[in-house]
Chain A
Amino acid sequence: MSTHEHASVATQAKAGEHASIGTYVKVAVILCLLTGLEFAVIYIRQLTPILIPLLLTLSLGKFALVVMFFMHLRYDAKPLTFLFVAPLILAVGIALALMTLTGDFLVFKR
Chain B
Amino acid sequence: MATPHDVAGAQPASAFTGATTAGARHPALATTRSWLTTVDHKRIGILYGVSAFAFLLLGGLEALLIRTQLLRPQLGVVSAEFYNALFTMHGTTMIFLAVMPLNAAFFNYIVPLMIGARDVAFPRLNALSYWIFLAGGLFLNASFLFGTPPDVGWFGYANLTTLPFSPGPAVDFWMLSVQILGVSSIISSVNFIATVLNMRAPGMTLMRMPLFVWMTLVVQFLIVLAFPAVTVGLIFLMFDRFLGTHFFDVAAGGDLHLWQHLFWIFGHPEVYILILPAFGIVSEVLPTFSRKPLFGAPVVIYSGVLIGFFGFGVWSHHMFAVGMGPVADAAFSIATMLIAVPTGVKIFNWLATMWGGRIRPSVAFHYAAGLVALFTIGGLSGIMHASPPVDLQQHDSYFVVAHLHYVLIGGSLFGIFAGLYYWWPKMTGRLLDERFGKLQFWVFAIGFNVAFFPQHFLGALGMPRRIYTYHRGSGWELWNFVSTIGAYVLGLGVLLFLLEAMRSLRHGARAPADPWDGRTLEWRTSSPPPVHDFDAIPPVYGRDSFWREKHGDSRGQRPAPRPPTPDPHGIHLPSPSFWPIVVASGLGIAAFGAIFHIGLVLVGAGVTVIGAFAFALEHHRNPAHANQVGALGVDHRKLAMWVFLGSECFFFGTLIATYMAYKGRSVVGPHPHEILNLPLTTLSTFDLLMSSLLMVLALAAVQRGDRFQTRLWLAGTVVFGVIFLGFQAYEFTQFVHEGLTLQTNLFGSTFFVLTGFHGGHVTLGVLWLATLLVLSLRNRLDTSDAIKVEVAGLYWHFVDIVWIVIFTLVYLIP
Contacts and interface: CB of A to CB of B under 8 A. Distances in A.
Question: Is A bound to B?
Answer: yes
A55 B686 CA distance: 16
A102 B255 contact: yes
Given A38-B808, A98-B654, A108-B327, A32 B642 contact: no
Interface in A41-66: 42, 51-52, 55-56, 58-59, 62-63, 66
A39 B682 contact: yes
A24 B262 CA distance: 38
A70 B650 CA distance: 21
Given A25-B693, A70-B692, A91-B653, A98 B261 contact: yes
B661 interface: yes
Interface string B214-248: 00000001000100010000000000000000000
Given A28-B690, A94-B312, A94-B653, A99 B808 contact: no
A80 B695 contact: no
Interface in B671-692: 678-679, 682, 685-686, 689-690, 692
A71 interface: yes
Contacts of B632: 77, 79
B646 A84 contact: yes
A83 B316 contact: no
B355 to A, nearest CB: 36
Contacts of A10: none
A56 B807 CA distance: 11
A30 B505 CA distance: 67
A15 interface: no
A56 B814 CA distance: 12
A102 B791 CA distance: 36
Contacts of A32: 686, 689-690
Nearest to B665: A104
A71 to B, nearest CB: 5
Contacts of A79: 197, 632, 634
Contacts of B639: 80, 83
A21 B647 contact: no
Interface string B637-651: 011001101110110
Contact of A66 (B262, B316, B646, B692): B692
16 contacts: A35-B682, A35-B686, A38-B682, A38-B807, A38-B808, A55-B812, A56-B808, A66-B797, A67-B797, A71-B798, A77-B633, A80-B639, A83-B639, A91-B225, A99-B661, A102-B657
Interface of A: 2, 21, 24-25, 27-28, 31-32, 35-36, 38-39, 42, 51-52, 55-56, 58-59, 62-63, 66-67, 69-72, 76-77, 79-80, 83-84, 86-88, 90-92, 94-96, 98-99, 101-105, 107-108, 110
Interface of B: 197, 221, 225, 229, 255, 257-258, 261-262, 265, 309, 312, 316, 324-325, 327-328, 632-634, 638-639, 642-643, 645-647, 649-650, 653-654, 656-658, 660-665, 678-679, 682, 685-686, 689-690, 692-693, 695-697, 700, 790, 793-794, 797-798, 800-801, 804-805, 807-808, 812-814
